[in-house]
Structure formats: structure tokens, C-alpha cells
Amino acid sequence: MESEHGGDIYSFAKRLGIRPEEVIDFSSNINCYSPKVEKDFNEIDVRPYADPNYTSLKEALAAKYEVGSDQVALFNGASSAIATLLGLYSKATIYAPAYGEYRRYAKSVTLINRFENLFDFPLQNSLVVFVNPSTPDGDYIALQQLFEIWQMQNCTVLIDESFLEFTEFDSALSFLQEYPKLYILKSMTKFYACAGVRVGTVISTPENIQQLQKHIPMWNISTFDEVYIKEALKDKRFELDVKFQIKQDKKLLFRLLERSEYVEKIYFSDTNFFLVKLKGIDAYGLQEMCDQENILIRNCENFDFLDRFHVRFAVRPKEDVAVLKKVLDA
């Protein structure tokens, strides 16, 4: 069986006897469009140690998010940031369903079912984990009321904004001044379409970042990845163009899902994927049908509060949606 995460095109391709490049991957929710990266990667000198402070990369990210570069900590991917941050707190409150790595690294965990009890009180003094927009459904929540609750409960707050760039909504960064017990996680992977490039960014107050830095191993970013992200951030048109394009593709996918006899409900999504509740077939049955077209989808059974009738589809270009149509319109 495939990995419990999305995007494992290798196991899937092996099982089908095809090459990983032949997989049409609706399972991983990264951007299906890539920024222009105009750099000769054969010219990169990997011999020397990188600047141990990754000064220029931090400056580029700080400029993008309009914070000071002393407010930025870099991790080898968002998963690594999650492992480190969750490891620092004895109690976590996770608004679920959420990305599985949060539970994996929480020392002890309380879940809040955000579909049903969004305004429940989190455990006092715990680390609150809130993904905004959420996975696997893609809903963006305005956070003012929640911050009031979190403050009452004296929680430290981690907002995962891995998918925020697909939306027009505000970052929780604006809360940082009045609520300093706050960490914002930014993944480069999703919007910049580079799951193979391992850079995750945590933004907080300079004091928090200085403390956090003590838990980050030396030289945790590949020189290749450092260059890649700096170059990707230079493509300023990308953000505008891609949002427009994804909106078009998203409509197409929505229409296909909406009229499929297998779809009971499409969850509201502000971002580049849809969570779907199936009817008359479960995720395993639909996966089997998708196998025929080399299509990989995300079975969401292993998310908290979901079951084997939930699957996720990422927004993809219309050619790929046309192939998916063969399965869903059958």
C-alpha cells in the first residue's frame, strides 16, 4: 500500500509498473505550476560550508514577509520545524483534522474537532496548533475570536500558513505585536512547487527566534536549496499569474466533482485542493478506479474525524482534470 502521506508517487508507480513521471498526482497538494528559476545549478559550489546564519536567505524571506531578518528561523522543511517546535512543549492542542506530523511529534495531545467545536477551549498553557487555511479541506478562518480564547487559556500559538499564499487573506503575523507567544510557520514547498527543496520558515519575535535557534542544528539547509528559494522569490510575476491560473483550474475541478455521482459533499476550500465526501464508493474503491488512469488521489481515512469515505483532490491543469473525468463521470 502507498505511504500514509500524499505524494508518494514512487510506491504507487512501482505497484502499477510505471515510471514515477507517468503518475498523475492529484494526491499531493503542492502547486501544479512552478516559478521561473533562472540559475545554472551546475555552477553552484557545494564545497564550502554555507554561511552558518544563512543571512542572505533570511533577508530574502524577511523581505517577502515584511518582517525583520532577526524574526526568521530556518528549518530543513516544515516537518523539521514541526518536530522541533512540538518537542519544546509538554502539551499540545491540535485543531484537527490536521497534517499528521503534528500528532507524531506532540508529547501529549488534545484534539479539537474544528468542524464541530471550533470555539471549544484548548488546554490551558498548551501549544495550540492551527493550520490556516486548513488541510485536508482548505478552509481559511479569521482568527480574532480564536486569539481571544487562546489568550484566556494562556496558550502559545503555532499557525501553519503553508497554504496562505494561494489565498488573498491576511497572515496571522499581524497578531504578533499584541500576542508575542506566537509562531507562524511558512512552507516554501506548497506555493513554490518544490517538495524536493527543504526550507521551512518560522517567524516570531526576535526574542522567540533567538531561543528557538538554540534547538536548530548547524548548517541545516542545503546550498542547492538555499539558491533555489532565493531565485524562486525573485519571480515576482509568479504570485499574480499563478493565482489567476489556479482559480480557473479550480473551477473546472469543482464542476467535475460537483456533478460526479460518487460525490456526496465538497468541503469549502479557499486554496488549491478539495476534500470530498464520497457516496456509493469508498476511498479504496475510487483509488482502484483511479489506478486504471495512473491517477493517484489522497485517501483521507487516516485524518482525525474523517473516514474511508473522504478523499482529497489537488487542483491540476485541465489536461489532468480531463483524465480524472474518465474516472468520475464513468
Contact between 244 and its own copies (CB under 8 A)?
A: no
Residues 271-310 that bind its own copies (CB under 8 A): none
Contact between 140 and its own copies (CB under 8 A)?
A: no
Minimum distance, C-beta of residue 21 to its own copies, in the bound complex (Å): 8
Among 151, 167, 223, 245, binds its own copies (CB under 8 A): 223
Minimum distance, C-beta of residue 34 to its own copies, in the bound complex (Å): 6
How far, in Å, are 46, 51, 148, 277 from residue 88 at the CA level? 32, 26, 23, 36
Residue type, 213: Q
Contact between 10 and its own copies (CB under 8 A)?
A: yes
Contact between 83 and its own copies (CB under 8 A)?
A: yes
Among 18, 20, 255, 322, binds its own copies (CB under 8 A): 20
Residue type, 113: N
**Closer residue to its own copies (CB): 46 or 240:** 46
Among 151, 153, 222, 245, binds its own copies (CB under 8 A): 222
Minimum distance, C-beta of residue 26 to its own copies, in the bound complex (Å): 13
Minimum distance, C-beta of residue 42 to its own copies, in the bound complex (Å): 5
Q: Are 93 and 126 in contact (CB under 8 A)?
A: yes
**Closer residue to its own copies (CB): 3 or 125:** 3
Q: How big is the site for its own copies, counted in residues (CB under 8 A)?
A: 51
Mark residues 174-213: x for contact with its own copies by CB under 8 A, - for none: -------------------xxxxxx---------------
Minimum distance, C-beta of residue 232 to its own copies, in the bound complex (Å): 10
Minimum distance, C-beta of residue 229 to its own copies, in the bound complex (Å): 11
Per residue in 86-116, is it b (16+ CB within 10 Å) or e — as a string? beebebbbbbbbbbebbbebbeebebbebee
How far, in Å, are 22, 39, 250, 251 from residue 254 at the CA level? 24, 36, 6, 5
Residues 27-66 that bind its own copies (CB under 8 A): 28, 30, 34, 40-42, 44-52, 55
Q: Rule CB under 8 A: which residues touch its own copies?
A: 3, 5-11, 20-21, 25, 28, 30, 34, 40-42, 44-52, 55, 76-77, 79-80, 82-83, 101, 193-198, 215, 217-225, 228
